[in-house]
Structure 1
Amino acid sequence: MKRRILLLLLCSLLVVALVLPSCKGDVEEPTTSNGEVVVEPAKDEPIYGGTLTPAFCVQNWSGGPTGWDMVKWTWMGHAYQSFVCDGLLMGDFTKGPSGTGEFGFVSTDFIPDASATGALATSWEFPEPTIIRFNLRQGVKWQDKFPTNGRDLTADDVVWALNRTIGFEDGKGRWPRHNFIKEVRKVDSKTIEFEFVEPMAFWGYEIGWGPYMLIYPQESEEAGLDNWKNIAGTGPFYVEDYVSDAQITYARNPDWWATWTKDGKTYQLPFLDKIIIPIVPEQATRLAAFRTGKMDIYQMAGMIAKRDIIEVNPELEDILESRQVMRGGGWLLYFPWDKEPFTDIKVRKAMNMALDRQALIEAFYEGVGMIFYFPLQESDGPSLFTPLEDCPEGVQEYFEYNPDKAKEYLADAGYPNGFSTILTMGVSDTAPDFGAMLQEFWAEIGIDAELRIMEEATIQAMGFDRSFEGVISHGIQSRPQVYNDYTCDHAYNFGGFCDEYYEDQWNIAKTTPDIEKRDAILKDLYVYLKTLCPDILMPSGAEWTAWWPWVKNYTGETSFGFHKHNYWAYAWIDEDLKKEMGY
């Protein structure tokens, strides 16, 4: 009898199990934050939830956030705040490696204007040559947390944030960084506009997707921008927790305005519940965590890190090789243009020609690198970049290793026996060995260079006031805007290079909004600059980004503009695959 009752009970449960799925009116189905029904995902279909733990590329140069106040922090602070706050524009995911492949999004601080799309702005126009008008996205809300509590974003909010950052009224913002802007004003509840002092060619970088123009609320300033708990924005994630020098945790903003369409279906972004960024400046520690699956992504690995990953995790080799990039980051040696013997182009060429750049690439980048990439590189496209082999002979010759010709140039300049000088380099693991190789190359042509290794802050201070002797090193990153660094009075023009024709052409280029005309000027100016041999360009090595296969819809992006890291809003984690792989 008991057995019969048990059988009837099991049959009843089976019937209930079969019937209930069809009774949708009686069962509350699980939904996402925007009301979409959660269903079992098909293969490679986006999955909501999960936590991403990346080895963040910014930690190649620094630790955690350097502050939360837009008018005070450096580019490092911008990187961490870009998860939280939107700008007017950002990189277009659909044009990246996961879309049409038009742009790789591998530079941390530059994207072509053509690869940008609207963020807080949906469209823009130039009603006059010196005015750009932005139509703001409607229905955007501040994050539903203190101190904004999910209220609507307004045009007044956007204008307030921009004006505070620029520092028009009190000069306490980033003024005079943006002294090319005459006014930022509200046109109506849906529109704002910038008025420039003169036509602005690089407006995308300067006010759209570039540095410092993230939008933050007045309530955060009133509550105190020195406290991360007071930080809010309109972006895909908010700061859930921050332990100084240990870890920062971002949580999903369910009210972010962005969506993404795959196979005809539109998804609310972001997919991830959390992003946890351990603050680990030590590369070896980050690398060990990635290789053991404790970190999901390792951004911008150098050759040594790449080799170590493949040795321990050979299954990731194909992913690494697929994302080899020449990012155009490297460093220059600056000549003091107002001091002998560097005023003579023959001396500048001789010091270049004495260097075996390929030997440096073999020694420090295991044979993978480039020697001709600043201020533009090949990835900037033929409309801007001229390859070395297409440059005049006078440019090609000083990028070739030719110590005999270098000696001839020194003799012609009045230094048949060479001279003594100083080589100042920033602290790094490779600086002593790199500096020693430079010393050896120059010794071969009679130049005795004393090597001094100093903290980067000291080098930068010496460069800003042009107080150094000999040649001095400093990091660089290729992008069209750095043409400005060669203008006579620019702070980062450490060497004091100053050329009237260059200055005139740059002023024309930067006030030419027509992209084709602007690029034509810049292309010619690139070659002209190189004919003057203004400095010594050190080789740049390749970099790789690796990620475990359970990270989906991510293909090695490192920025959607100037250190904009909201590309992870498009990624998701396949927890089942992760478990299958034993992690």
Structure 2
Amino acid sequence: MKKYLAMILVFAMTFAMVTGCSNPGETTPTDAPTPTDPAAPGETPAANTELTPTGEETVSDKDTINIAVDREPATLNPGGVMSNVSEIVMMNTMDTLLKFDKTATPQPNLATEWEALDDTTWQFKLREDVYFTNGEHFTAKDVVYSFNRLATTTTGPSALTHIDLTGLEAVDDYTVKIKTTEPYAFLEAQLCQAVMSIVNEKAITDMGEEAHGRAPVGTGAFKVGNWVAGESITLERNDTYWGEAAPLKNIVLKIMTEGTSRTMNLETGDIDLNCRLQVTDIDRVDESEDTYVLAGPQNTLRYICLNTSVEPLNNVNVRKALYHATDTELIRETIYGVKSSEKATGPVPPTFPGKNNDLPEYTYDPEKAKELLAAEGFENGFEVSFIYLANTTNNMFAEMLQAMWAEVGVTLVLQPTESGTLSTMLNAGDYQVGTAATDMKMCDAGEGLYSFFHSSSRGSSTDRTWLNDPEVDAILDKIVTTLDAEERNALVYEAQALIHDLCPMIYICHPWRVYGVRSDVRGLSVLPYDMEDYSKLYFVNED
């Protein structure tokens, strides 16, 4: 079949996405770019974020797709230990009040319409034809229960930072009021997040939190069928779903932590979709007649997180020394690829409004690193631990970093670990140095900075630096309560300079999402935010 390789930033899509987030309602969704032939050697490849059928293709009767994911979730309960895989399952088996479209503009979902009654009070009208997979009818009481429940969970409280639970009210069965603690610019985007998925009180009461976390009851296009620990999670089509029925009956998520294994299984046909294609495998997957590559930009930052609350990383000059000891561009080129990532010069993606392009660069300079360490009394270096998800790619990352820091006298003790333990340690601040990829889930720089660096975000799945700086907190508080986009972006610009000078993280890159796909799979779109919609997937017949 015709091959497509997407290894360029999709400027049109990203621009529409970020402006849509900053000014909800002013931007309409745009069609995905039309796929083109691969570029010749030395040329810039064309963008490809979506593959749809041609008029000559016919739909296959295959009803089960096998998808490789890179980790096993700890739980599928909203507000539990969250990971990209748990969020993907939630967003395909549960529903939120609102949902993002392809440009990350909030659209109706369980809520059909909504309005701001005043600066801090919002009213939402709900669908009346929705049922949970246990047969319970969805009402406003489920919304109230779901949000109140989050306050008692592991990561849920951070999602409620700006929501006043005392003002949460089921006005009637299909109307709910939500109050915020102050004017909050991002409520609509917040209600699109997986952590805000609506659950059923009876289901959790009857099953208990732990059992519900293995087989949650939701209202989405699929329901969780069988979860075989360490092997797979099967999603089954929800035949009572209120929306359009999914073409496929079964989605089998196969847990494959090693990138090489995912690619080999894609090539043999044991899996149909590889959600985490290694950079080193892009060309071979694209050149095969049996597979193709689908890729596009993400609102994700890959970085080295420095726990600013523990010694000696609570010393800003030590953090700056470690930055100067890190060849970030070499790591990017080796691990993430220059064609499938964007250089990170700060925490904000390059096309976001408010992006500060004037931040001074922490250049790779081992001698400068040694000088800074000596000035702080560490002329003989020190020992520090590094936690990361154990897989081939991260092992390479860790070994490169270990060698770089050894040049300035810092001994990096490697601590590879599995996904659940890693998330728990990061959420608890039980680490010194780690590597993380954090998504600006609400597609707005201001909200992203708040979730990354505000002291109230400690313990959440987004704060990996444990920064606690009153000046940073003050400007971030102002950002989230400023409703005017232009004023907010000016504050975002200023906040980046403050945060950058504190050096709580070492920026590596903005990686793109790269999928390896069997040639007969259709219906997948690469979205700018970390979400995969499986309800549109299907197969076509091939000659």
Which category describes the TM-score, using the shorter chain as reference length? Answer: 0.7 to 0.9
Alignment-derived partner of residue 178 in structure 1: 160
Q: Distance in 1 between matches of 2:520 and 2:205?
A: 42
Instruction: Indicate how the Cα distance of structure 1 residues 340 and 556 shifts in structure 2: closer, same or farther if over 3 A, else same.
Output: closer
Alignment-derived partner of residue 434 in structure 2: 473
**Displacement after TM superposition at 1:194 (Å):** 0.8
Cα deviation per residue 1:370-413 (whole Å; 9 max; x = unaligned)? 441653212xx341323xxx314xx22x1x223455455556x3
Q: Distance in 2 between matches of 1:374 and 1:215?
A: 34
CA contact 2:262–2:277 (8 Å) conserved in 1: no
**Displacement after TM superposition at 1:303 (Å):** 0.9
1:449 to 411, 416, 419: 411
> Secondary structure of the equivalent of 1:385?
coil
> Secondary structure of the equivalent of 1:364?
helix
**Displacement after TM superposition at 1:354 (Å):** 3.2
2:175 to 191, 200, 211: 191
> Secondary structure of the equivalent of 2:458?
coil
**Displacement after TM superposition at 1:438 (Å):** 3.2
Q: Distance in 2 between matches of 1:415 and 1:343?
A: 11
Q: Distance in 2 between matches of 1:131 and 1:499?
A: 30
TM-score when scaled to structure 1? 0.69
CA contact 1:133–1:192 (8 Å) conserved in 2: yes
Q: Distance in 2 between matches of 1:409 and 1:230?
A: 52
Which residues of 2 match residues 359-374 of structure 1 at below 5 A? 359-368=330-339, 369-372=341-344
Q: Distance in 1 between matches of 2:428 and 2:493?
A: 30
Which residues of 2 match residues 432-511 of structure 1 at below 5 A? 433-444=396-407, 446-455=408-417, 472-479=433-440, 480-488=447-455, 490-492=457-459, 497-511=467-481
Q: Distance in 2 between matches of 1:437 and 1:481?
A: 28
Alignment-derived partner of residue 300 in structure 2: 328
Instruction: Indicate how the Cα distance of structure 1 residues 335 and 247 shifts in structure 2: closer, same or farther if over 3 A, else same.
Output: closer
Letter aligned with residue 376 of structure 1:
V
Q: Distance in 1 between matches of 2:57 and 2:199?
A: 33
**Displacement after TM superposition at 1:174 (Å):** 4.5
User: Is 1:121 paired with 2:107?
Assistant: no
> Secondary structure of the equivalent of 1:331?
strand
Alignment-derived partner of residue 14 in structure 1: none
Alignment-derived partner of residue 349 in structure 2: 377
1:160 to 136, 145, 148: 145
CA contact 1:336–1:466 (8 Å) conserved in 2: no
CA contact 2:122–2:179 (8 Å) conserved in 1: yes
CA contact 1:235–1:253 (8 Å) conserved in 2: yes
CA contact 1:198–1:511 (8 Å) conserved in 2: yes
**Displacement after TM superposition at 1:314 (Å):** 5.0
**Displacement after TM superposition at 1:432 (Å):** 5.4
User: Is 1:424 paired with 2:398?
Assistant: no
Pairs aligned (count) = 474
Instruction: Indicate how the Cα distance of structure 1 residues 424 and 341 shifts in structure 2: closer, same or farther if over 3 A, else same.
Output: closer
Which residues of 2 match residues 261-280 of structure 1 at below 5 A? 268-280=244-256
**Displacement after TM superposition at 1:121 (Å):** 0.8
CA contact 1:355–1:401 (8 Å) conserved in 2: yes
> Secondary structure of the equivalent of 1:82?
helix
Alignment-derived partner of residue 211 in structure 1: 194
> Secondary structure of the equivalent of 1:53?
strand
User: Is 1:572 paired with 2:538?
Assistant: yes
CA contact 2:131–2:242 (8 Å) conserved in 1: no
Q: Distance in 1 between matches of 2:182 and 2:354?
A: 23
CA contact 1:337–1:343 (8 Å) conserved in 2: no
Instruction: Indicate how the Cα distance of structure 1 residues 131 and 306 shifts in structure 2: closer, same or farther if over 3 A, else same.
Output: same
Letter aligned with residue 349 of structure 1:
K
Alignment-derived partner of residue 18 in structure 2: none
CA contact 1:360–1:539 (8 Å) conserved in 2: no
Letter aligned with residue 252 of structure 1:
R
Alignment-derived partner of residue 221 in structure 1: 204
CA contact 2:81–2:155 (8 Å) conserved in 1: no
Q: Structure 2: which 5+ runs fail to align?
A: 1-52, 441-446
Letter aligned with residue 330 of structure 1:
R
Instruction: Indicate how the Cα distance of structure 1 residues 551 and 516 shifts in structure 2: closer, same or farther if over 3 A, else same.
Output: farther
Cα deviation per residue 1:163-199 (whole Å; 9 max; x = unaligned)? 33445xxx99945762543232112343111112222
Q: Distance in 1 between matches of 2:522 and 2:218?
A: 26
CA contact 1:463–1:495 (8 Å) conserved in 2: no
Q: Distance in 1 between matches of 2:483 and 2:99?
A: 19
Instruction: Indicate how the Cα distance of structure 1 residues 243 and 488 shifts in structure 2: closer, same or farther if over 3 A, else same.
Output: closer
CA contact 1:245–1:279 (8 Å) conserved in 2: yes
User: Is 1:351 paired with 2:292?
Assistant: no
> Secondary structure of the equivalent of 1:212?
helix
Residue identity over aligned pairs, in percent, reads: 20
CA contact 1:420–1:447 (8 Å) conserved in 2: yes
Which residues of 2 match residues 1-40 of structure 1 at below 5 A? none
Q: Distance in 2 between matches of 1:459 and 1:552?
A: 34
Q: Distance in 2 between matches of 1:496 and 1:246?
A: 34
**Displacement after TM superposition at 1:238 (Å):** 2.7
> Secondary structure of the equivalent of 1:301?
coil
Alignment-derived partner of residue 132 in structure 1: 122
**Displacement after TM superposition at 1:481 (Å):** 3.1
User: Is 1:299 paired with 2:275?
Assistant: yes
Q: Distance in 2 between matches of 1:242 and 1:433?
A: 30
Q: Distance in 2 between matches of 1:125 and 1:443?
A: 57
Instruction: Indicate how the Cα distance of structure 1 residues 494 and 330 shifts in structure 2: closer, same or farther if over 3 A, else same.
Output: closer
Instruction: Indicate how the Cα distance of structure 1 residues 572 and 527 shifts in structure 2: closer, same or farther if over 3 A, else same.
Output: same
RMSD: 3.8
Q: Distance in 1 between matches of 2:314 and 2:54?
A: 65
Cα deviation per residue 1:135-159 (whole Å; 9 max; x = unaligned)? 2124x2315x6x31xx643333433
**Displacement after TM superposition at 1:503 (Å):** 1.3
Letter aligned with residue 302 of structure 2:
G
> Secondary structure of the equivalent of 2:276?
strand
Instruction: Indicate how the Cα distance of structure 1 residues 135 and 516 shifts in structure 2: closer, same or farther if over 3 A, else same.
Output: farther
Q: Distance in 1 between matches of 2:507 and 2:154?
A: 36
Q: Structure 1: which 5+ runs fail to align?
A: 1-40, 97-102, 104-111, 259-267
Q: Distance in 1 between matches of 2:396 and 2:76?
A: 38
Largest Rg, 1 or 2: 1
Letter aligned with residue 200 of structure 1:
Y
Q: Distance in 2 between matches of 1:234 and 1:458?
A: 29
CA contact 1:228–1:242 (8 Å) conserved in 2: no
**Displacement after TM superposition at 1:248 (Å):** 3.6
**Displacement after TM superposition at 1:489 (Å):** 5.6
**Displacement after TM superposition at 1:498 (Å):** 3.3
Letter aligned with residue 257 of structure 1:
W
Letter aligned with residue 477 of structure 1:
T
Letter aligned with residue 51 of structure 1:
D
> Secondary structure of the equivalent of 2:499?
helix
TM-score when scaled to structure 2? 0.74
Instruction: Indicate how the Cα distance of structure 1 residues 352 and 418 shifts in structure 2: closer, same or farther if over 3 A, else same.
Output: farther
Instruction: Indicate how the Cα distance of structure 1 residues 455 and 172 shifts in structure 2: closer, same or farther if over 3 A, else same.
Output: closer
User: Is 1:142 paired with 2:100?
Assistant: no
Instruction: Indicate how the Cα distance of structure 1 residues 49 and 209 shifts in structure 2: closer, same or farther if over 3 A, else same.
Output: farther
Instruction: Indicate how the Cα distance of structure 1 residues 573 and 210 shifts in structure 2: closer, same or farther if over 3 A, else same.
Output: same
Alignment-derived partner of residue 19 in structure 2: none
Q: Distance in 2 between matches of 1:448 and 1:333?
A: 16
